[in-house]
Structure 1
Amino acid sequence: MTEIPEDHPRYMSLVTREMLVKGVNDGITSMQGLIAQGRGEAFDYLIGEKTTGTAMRATKAAAAMLLLAERPVISVNGNTAALVSKEICELSKLIDAPVEVNLFHRTEERVGKIVKRLRSDGCITIYGDNPDRLIPGLSHDRAKASSEGIWAADVVLVPLEDGDRCEALIRMGKKVITIDLNPLSRTSRMATITIVDNIVRAIPNIHAFALEMKSMSPMELQEIVVEFSNAESLSRSLEDIAENLKKLQ
């Protein structure tokens, strides 16, 4: 990767770009994933390239929901694997949630490489290389799911998700937690909980909250989830953007 000086004002953003370019060269990330990263980076500018208080509240609710889940599953695509593979594996072990690879631009070679990356980074239970179910309402490869993974899940964490699969999972009766820097996207609006934040910050934050709250009672966790409103959180995220833009004037 290109050497980036740590005192560069946008060090983390540039490192993230390099990680995704390496992901493409390693056969993990698709070329289209670079375009998605550019779109997300633009929204990260708008929120100030930091985790807002609004995002932290959503993250806490997400951690509580994952701890309450009977069968949580973490869905992983190419960008997620390139950026936070180790962090995903750490979270997977903490909340006892298997990981399932699901790709829009799917090839069996890419799936195999992502599974290998996840396994080398510590993930234990990984699905997606031999899907045996189809999510109703989707005609694309994203419909492919594993009967012991996403198909059976009650809560699915789907970072960097596309809207129609999020909507299809909701129709199946599942709760969906997503990480999306665009508070206006269909994914953000359809999800049960949307964390408007960069995935490189959000996944470690979910892990930290889950670790902190792991000893809480189900009643205490449920109270955190019930008090959260995704619609209100998205409205606050738009207010956060407006306030940040005012500061730049």
Structure 2
Amino acid sequence: MAEFKVPKSHPRYWSLYYRHKIEEALEKGILAKAGTIAHGRGEAFDYLIGEKTIEPAERAMRTAVAKLLLAEHPVVSVNGNVAALVPKETIELAKSLGAKLEINLFYRTEERVKAIEKALREFDPDVEILGINPTKRIPNLESERGKVDEEGIWKADVIVVPLEDGDRTEALVAMGKFVITVDLNPLSRSARMADITIVDNIVRAYPKMIEIAEELKGKPKEELEAIVKGYDNAKTLSDVLIHMRNRLDALSKEGIWRRREI
């Protein structure tokens, strides 16, 4: 893989950096080709929210962390895009929440599972990783994504399923699981089916959630329950769409074209 040589002064440095990480993950066998399409689609929605964490996303993150701290068996799911973009942060988030990590893939091969395991262990050689040899299957989910670990997703009461396929989100909800997703597309089936939807770029969301976890640890159970009880995911998604609409309206009025004499 060619070295990333874009200067930090470049106005699109971070966007190009994460594209490079996606390309690198594809070459290492971590990512399926379809994952590159998913990343590009996410970038488009990130433009619409202004490439920053907005208030509805922070609201969802805080509620998600509170719910995960209340959970008996929390699990953070890992797919190729997650392993490509936030491997270190994924491990740190799971540790801060007392959650288990589980690899779960739509385009599952043993080679990809091993590549993702290797990518995670580069940051923590001793981290427990489930999903390497799954023994259970999510009911009514025939894809490879239906294969889950008996001690992980199968047993979990609260699950983080970032950059997710809608079919598994729907199937997990049908099992009675509480599902949290990170998805830049507020119109996706995952976003609309999940109990909590964080509409943000995962590279911003996970570090922020780690901060929130450190803040909320040790808070009384009643305080965490109050945070969860006061949350409305339908309103959060509506607020995201309103933010996008207002931003596009403002841009259309102020003009986005650079004028010059011709």
TM-score normalised over the length of structure 1: 0.98
Deviation sequence 1:96-123 (CA, Å, 0-9, x none): 1110001111110100111121122126
Is residue 58 from structure 1 mapped to residue 54 from structure 2 by the alignment? Answer: no
Matched letter for residue 2 of structure 1:
F
Q: Of 7, 10, 26, which residue of structure 1 is paired with 2:9?
A: 7
Taking only aligned residues, the RMSD between alpha carbons, in angstroms, comes to 0.9
Matched letter for residue 17 of structure 1:
R
Aligned to 2:166: 163
Tell me if the contact between 1:98 and 1:124 (Cα under 8 Å) persists in the aligned partners. no
Q: What is the number of residues matched between the two proteins?
A: 249
Aligned to 2:260: none
Tell me by how many angstroms 1:93 deviates.
Answer: 1.2
Aligned to 2:208: 205
Matched letter for residue 219 of structure 1:
E
Q: Of 95, 98, 104, which residue of structure 1 is paired with 2:97?
A: 95
Q: Of 193, 198, 216, which residue of structure 2 is paired with 1:195?
A: 198
Deviation sequence 1:117-150 (CA, Å, 0-9, x none): 1122126211111000000010110000000000
| Distance in 1 between residues matched to 2:176 and 2:122, nearest whole Å | 33
Deviation sequence 1:31-52 (CA, Å, 0-9, x none): 1100000100000000000000
After TM superposition, the structure 1 stretch with the greater mean CA deviation from structure 2, 119-128 or 173-182, is 119-128
The percent of aligned pairs where both chains have the same amino acid is 55
| Distance in 1 between residues matched to 2:203 and 2:169, nearest whole Å | 21
Matched letter for residue 189 of structure 2:
R
Matched letter for residue 224 of structure 2:
L
Is residue 39 from structure 1 mapped to residue 57 from structure 2 by the alignment? Answer: no
Matched letter for residue 233 of structure 1:
T
Q: Of 75, 91, 95, which residue of structure 2 is paired with 1:73?
A: 75
Tell me by how many angstroms 1:242 deviates.
Answer: 0.8
| Distance in 1 between residues matched to 2:109 and 2:151, nearest whole Å | 21
Task: Point out the structure with max Rg over C-alpha.
Answer: 2
1:208-219 alignment runs, 5 A limit: 208-219=211-222
Is residue 243 from structure 1 mapped to residue 246 from structure 2 by the alignment? Answer: yes
Q: Of 175, 178, 197, which residue of structure 2 is paired with 1:175?
A: 178
Aligned to 2:256: none
Tell me by how many angstroms 1:7 deviates.
Answer: 1.7
| Distance in 2 between residues matched to 1:59 and 1:226, nearest whole Å | 14
List runs of 5+ in structure 1 lacking aligned partners.
none
Tell me by how many angstroms 1:174 deviates.
Answer: 0.5
1:131-142 alignment runs, 5 A limit: 131-142=134-145
| Distance in 2 between residues matched to 1:81 and 1:225, nearest whole Å | 28
Q: Of 90, 114, 120, which residue of structure 1 is paired with 2:122?
A: 120
| Distance in 1 between residues matched to 2:188 and 2:237, nearest whole Å | 10
1:100-115 alignment runs, 5 A limit: 100-115=102-117
Tell me by how many angstroms 1:246 deviates.
Answer: 1.9
Secondary structure of the 1:152 match is: coil
After TM superposition, the structure 1 stretch with the greater mean CA deviation from structure 2, 96-105 or 2-11, is 2-11
Secondary structure of the 1:187 match is: helix
Tell me if the contact between 1:23 and 1:29 (Cα under 8 Å) persists in the aligned partners. yes
